[in-house]
């Protein structure tokens, strides 16, 4: 049943402004398209993996691409998108928690079925996981280190989010809001770096700490969801058992990998470790700074890149 944005204000937040493209969002049509096409994501993953290994082989004896201006535009675009998504999703998230409680926030997918604003930005979030694979394109073409966590994270998130949208997985309300918020900070950080502005080392640590917190909360939401599924009347919590297992395995594996990265990047006492993660100070001789900066990879999605 299509919702009307001007009704059911006891369920929906009172947005101060609704864009026309949000008001025209029809979740049923988007769900139908995703149900018919979500498996196409496996083809994208295949192309992605071919590019990673083929691209690294192609670039190994060739000079790297600079792509600094392109990277700056890319990071600014993703930062703006994430900030907008967070701003549009948070009102619904806060309203549901305040007025309906934890069970409703985990088990009822009203953020897609009732709220057109949150529904639109949830759908945009799902679709955005495809262009976000472009992060890896920059790493390969600029010949930066690419570790397992980076491409594993991108692949599994793409497949899981596209699949979950076909089921209207209700716990996704939490996952989408958390990811938008973390990406708002993360891509803003990378946008500054791509402009030649180097935030303090503590800011990079904060990003990884936020990512770790996201994984802990994700695991906790899945545990609550499992309890609700087991104790509530059948089919009242809109999460399938297979989705719950996939989500739990994914979030737990992320936590292990991000924790390992955090330890190696910020806590390990190996010689030279601090220099590899500490942003360089600004200096008048920008060419020298840029050359030094290139020697120390930066963090992206909790991994070493850029």
Nearest to 300 by CA among 67, 53, 75: 75
How far is it, in rounded angstroms, from Cα 34 to Cα 124? 12
238 counts as catalytic: no
Contact call for residues 282 and 289 (beta carbons, < 8 A): yes
Strands 303-305, 298-300: pairing kind? antiparallel
Tokens of 16: 């101060």
Q: Which of 153, 154, 183, 306 is catalytic?
A: 153
**Cβ–Cβ < 8 Å for 279, 196:** no
Which residues lie below 8 Å from residue 279, measured CB to CB, with a gap of 6+? 193, 198, 199, 200, 201, 203, 204, 298
Widest distance between CA atoms in the chain = 67
Q: Which two tokens stand for residue 71?
A: 């990277």
Distance, CA of 119 to CA of 123 (rounded, Å):
6
% helix, strand, coil for the chain, step of 5: 70, 0, 25
Active site residues: 153
């Amino acid at each position: 049943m299509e919702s009307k944005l001007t009704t059911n204000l006891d369920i929906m937040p009172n947005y101060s402004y609704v864009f026309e493209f949000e008001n025209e969002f029809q979740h049923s049509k988007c769900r139908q398209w995703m149900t018919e096409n979500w498996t196409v994501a496996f083809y994208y993953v295949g192309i992605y993996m071919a590019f990673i290994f083929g691209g690294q082989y192609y670039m190994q004896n060739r000079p790297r691409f600079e792509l600094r201006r392109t990277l700056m535009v890319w990071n600014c675009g993703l930062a703006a998108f994430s900030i907008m998504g967070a701003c549009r999703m948070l009102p619904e998230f806060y309203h549901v928690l305040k007025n309906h409680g934890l069970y409703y926030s985990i088990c009822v997918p009203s953020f897609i079925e009732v709220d057109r604003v949150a529904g639109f930005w949830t759908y945009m979030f799902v679709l955005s996981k495809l262009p976000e694979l472009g992060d890896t394109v920059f790493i390969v073409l600029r010949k930066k280190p690419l570790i397992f966590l980076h491409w594993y994270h991108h692949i599994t998130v793409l497949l899981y989010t596209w699949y979950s949208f076909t089921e209207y997985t209700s716990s996704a309300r939490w996952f989408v809001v958390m990811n938008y918020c973390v990406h708002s900070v993360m891509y803003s950080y990378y946008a500054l770096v791509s402009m030649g502005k180097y935030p303090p080392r503590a800011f990079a640590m904060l990003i990884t700490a936020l990512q770790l917190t996201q994984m802990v909360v994700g695991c906790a939401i899945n545990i609550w969801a499992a309890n609700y599924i087991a104790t509530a009347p059948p089919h009242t919590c809109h999460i399938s058992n297979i989705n719950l297992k996939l989500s739990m395995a994914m979030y737990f594996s992320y936590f292990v990998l991000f924790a390992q990265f955090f330890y190696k990047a910020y806590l390990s006492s190996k010689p030279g470790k601090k220099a590899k993660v500490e942003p360089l100070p600004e200096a008048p001789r920008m060419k020298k700074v840029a050359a030094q900066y290139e020697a120390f990879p930066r963090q992206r999605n909790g991994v070493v890149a850029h």
